[in-house]
Structures are given as structure tokens and as C-alpha cells.
Structure 1
Amino acid sequence: MSHRKVREVMTSDVVTARVDTAFKELAAIMARRGVSALPVLDGAGRVAGVVSEADLLPKQGSQEDPKARPLPWWHRWAARDRSAGTTAGDLMTAPAITIGPDESVVAAARVMERRKIKRLPVTGPGARLEGIVSRCDLVRVFLRPDTEIRQEIIDEVLTDYLGTDPALVRVTVTEGVVTLAGEVEKKSMIPFAVRMSRSVDGVVDVAGELTFTVDDTRLPPVPDLTSY
């Protein structure tokens, strides 16, 4: 069973900046295109970093405001270098955290969660930009039709992995919530069926209502050798 690839959900028409793109042009591009971050490309078209609204804010925060409560000195010191930047190359976060187009959406979600970021440039050979994938793109996986989810569970979980006759297990999917009902041969197959079904793209939750023919989770009784 395979998850959807990043290339299937990413945005291919990416708004970018160059390392020498000026501060005001960066702000104008973000406002005009309605984006909150831009991959920054070097002279060879490789992804050098990412510049976001958060990278531009120190410039605003560095301006004097006599009515504002002054920030602690260590905050002002930390923001000083970035607030002095005038180009994307000065302001960007580098190196960029990227992902390949053939990685799974699960891998992309894990990188975003672990690194606490909202988007990933998608790069191919030579660090060339191929697209960008955002949290919103990954969430769209849950818009997958219930009929597709049901068929994948029948074909790949029940038939291929468990080797179970799908006629013995009733699979229903409603708004991404899967219910497995019916009978399988062994008790040990039940948690496996639930776990594998939960890993199918688009599944929100799984309710297991399965019964079993043989309880293979209990050890056979130990013979009493004292009578020999």
C-alpha cells in the first residue's frame, strides 16, 4: 500500500524571488500574489532559501515608536541583523528545508510537524525547484472520495495484506470514517486490519467491529510433566 506522492498535491506554478530581490519588491510580490512566503533562487535556479512574512517583520519592528513599550535589549539585539537586510538573500532562512516530488504526503507532513514550518519547496535533481507543498495541500488528502478509500481498503488491506476474502468483511466509509464489520480467520488479524486501514490516505478514523474464528493470541497450555 502506497501513500500519495508530493507531486500529486503540490502547486507547480510557484511564485519565487531571486537572492537580489529588494525588500520592497518582496513585500509587493507577497501582497499582489496573496502568498506568505517565497522560495529564493540563486543565479543557477537552485533553491537557496525561503523568505516569509516573518522574515520581513523585523524591519517594521525596528522602527522607532515613542508610544510603544521598548523591547528588552536581547530581543532588539537578536532582530538587529535581520532588520538591516535589504534583499531576499539577506532576509531569507537558509538553507531551505525541502522535499522531493516522489516523497509521500506522510513524509511531508512529518517534516512540517518536526520542523514547525508551514510549507516545503519541492526540489528535483540539482536542487531545481519543481513546486511547493503547503499544509493546506496536505489537508486536501482528506477530501478523497469515500468510494476510493473503501476500494483501497478492500483491495490492498483485506485482499493483498491479510489474504482475507473481502466478501467476509463489510467495509463502509462515511466522511472518511471507516467501519470494518464481519469475521476474519484469526484474532491477531483484527488490530492489523484496523492499523493498516487507518494508514490509508484520506482516512479520518477506523471503527473495528470484527469478530474472529480462531484465537491465535493465546499460548497453548503447557503440558504437566510431573506425571511422567
Structure 2
Amino acid sequence: MMYCRIKDVMTHEVVRAHGETPFKAVARLLSGNRISGLPVVNDEEKVVGVISETDLLQHQAHQTEGYGSRRVRRPKLTRSARTAAAKARATTADHLMTRPAVTATPEHYVTEAARIMREHGVERLPVVDDKDRLVGIVTRGDLLRVFLRTDEEIRREVSRRVALGLDVPRYVVDVAVDEGVVTLRGHLERHDAVGLAVRIAGHVDGVVGVVSRLTHRPTSARTRSVVGAPGHM
């Protein structure tokens, strides 16, 4: 199986909460399903926010804050600190969740999902349709499944994509894969084709790294053949 898009790796049955879901009910959903976060949806199943274990822990920390300690003057709260304080007092999912939710679509590539997670510092993405309705969820663990592809699966896809991208027969570029590391061997006509082959291989899901053993015709040799050809006066 090729894990190229989110729809191939996402979980379709999603544990979710609604805005009015009580704090303790949210905690039970997370604990009972052994998950670290969940989306919050409205009556139309549109995603309106996301709750993580961190949000619940902020509430717990607020409950115990001040016990056994002296009162101290606190600096003026920043926006993020005010948000955390509000979550600490939350009694329902509506006040506990982070909004707006960072989401993805089923057609996003898993590499795009990984980039979105990294940029926003999140561990899961609710997956929504074209009307923003919840259809699944993808986690970091789901994305890591692409690295469980066998070397042979990776080799076949790299060989196919490189041949297609360079418009050459597959035998022109020999592809070997060992523990996800791709090695390319062969002789190409152009120098830029070497770089293109490496880029194509590197974008295949499951590839850990690319080693190029590709060679190409010298540029000067191609120039001489063109300049010295009949009819080019």
C-alpha cells in the first residue's frame, strides 16, 4: 500500500466532543479511549476547536495553585497567559478548547500534514471535507506509518517516478533501497537530470535519504557535438 495522502492513513472513527460537553466528560473520553486529544464539533459536525491533555492539565494546575505558598505580585498577563488562565477555569469543552482548529483535508499529502503539524506545534489534525465537517483525524503516529513501507515498495515507486519524471526507460536509472535509504546509479544525458532524479526520489513517502551515484555527459562534449553538427554554420 502507498501512503501518499492523508485519506490513506487517517482514522475514520473519531472520538469527539461538543461545546457543552462537561470537563469531566472530556477527561473520561481521553482516558477511556487512550488518546491525548480530540476535536470539538458543533451540531453540523463542523470542527470548531481542539482539546489536548495539556488543556486539562492547565485546569488542574490552576486548582492547586496558591496552596502552601505566599502571595506574590504577578506581572501583567500576556495574551497567551490570559488564554491559559481562561482554560484553567473552564468547565465545558467550549471554554477548554483551542480555537480555531488547525485542520487538513483527505487530499493533503502526508508530507504536507507533517509540515502543518511542525509549523503549528500540534500532534494531531482533524480532517475535514469541503464543508469543514469532520471526516477523520490524523496523528503524528499515523504519519510515521509511511516509514514502515518495505524497501521493495519504496524501490518500485522510486523507479517508476524517476523514469516518468525524466522521460526515460526504467532501466536507465538503477534504484536500490536499504532501510529506506535510496541509492541511484546510471548514466544520464544532462547534468540537471541528475538533480531532478534525486529530488524526485527524495519526495517519495518512506524515503529516509538519497545517495546519488549518477553520472552525466560532460557539458563541453554536448556543446562540441552541437556546434560541429552539419547545417549549423
TM-score, with length taken from structure 2? 0.85
Per-residue CA deviation, residues 148-189 of structure 1 (Å, 9 max, x unaligned), is: 2111122121x2111223223221001110001121122221
Which of 83, 89, 102 pairs up with 1:84?
89
| C-alpha separation in 1, matches of 2:138 and 2:213 | 37
What do residues 79-134 of structure 1 show as CA deviations (whole Å, max 9, x unaligned)?
A: 33222210001111112111111111122111111111111000013211110011
Structure 2 counterpart of 1:223: none
Instruction: String of CA shifts for 1:15-61, please: whole Å, max 9, x gaps.
Output: 11111110111111111111111111112221111111111122211
Q: Which residue pairs with 2:25 in the alignment?
A: 25
1:62 correspondence with 2:62:
yes
TM-score normalised over the length of structure 1: 0.86
Aligned mates of 1:207, 1:70 — CA distance in 2? 61
Report the more deviating stretch, 73-82 or 17-26.
73-82
The offset of 1:216, in angstroms, is 6.7
The alignment-based identity, stated in percent, is 41
Mapped partners of 1:181, 1:55: distance in 2: 51
RMSD of aligned C-alpha atoms?
2.5
1:170 aligns with 2:171: no
Matched, 1:114 2:119: yes
Match of 1:142 in 2: 147
| Aligned-partner residue type, residue 24 of structure 1 | K
Does 2:156 match 1:161? Answer: no
SS at match of 1:200: coil
Distance (Å, rounded) in 2 between the aligned partners of 1:73 and 1:59 = 20
Letter in 2 for 1:66: Y
Mapped partners of 2:76, 2:49: distance in 1: 26
**Structure 2 vs 1, CA of residues 81 and 206 (structure 1 numbering), >3 Å: closer, same or farther?**
same
1:98 to 1:190, Cα distance in 2 relative to 1, 3 A: same
CA distance in 2, matches of 1:59, 1:14: 24
- 1:200 matched to 2:201? The reply is no
Equivalent pair of 1:11/1:133 in contact (CA under 8 Å): yes
Distance, in Å, in 2 between the alignment partners of 1:51 and 1:101 is 21
Correspondent of 2:192 among 188, 193, 201: 188
Greater CA drift, 99-108 or 162-171? 162-171
Match of 1:225 in 2: none
Q: CA offset at residue 198 of structure 1?
A: 0.6
User: CA separation in 2, counterparts of 1:38 and 1:84?
Assistant: 19
Give distance in 2, aligned partners of 1:60 and 1:21. Answer: 18
- Contact map agreement 1:164 1:184 (CA 8 A) in 2: no
2:188–2:217: 8 Å Cα contact kept in structure 1? yes
- What is the one-letter code of the residue matched to 2:216? F
Larger CA deviation: 64-73 vs 91-100: 64-73
Residue identity matched to 1:200? V
TM superposition outliers: structure 1 runs of 4+ over 4 Å: 68-77, 216-220
- Residue 24 of structure 2 aligns with an amino acid whose one-letter code is K
CA distance in 1, matches of 2:137, 2:192: 41
Contact 1:48 1:96 in 2 (8 A): yes
1:34 aligns with 2:57: no
Unaligned runs of 5+ in 2: 225-233
**SS of equivalent to 2:50:** strand
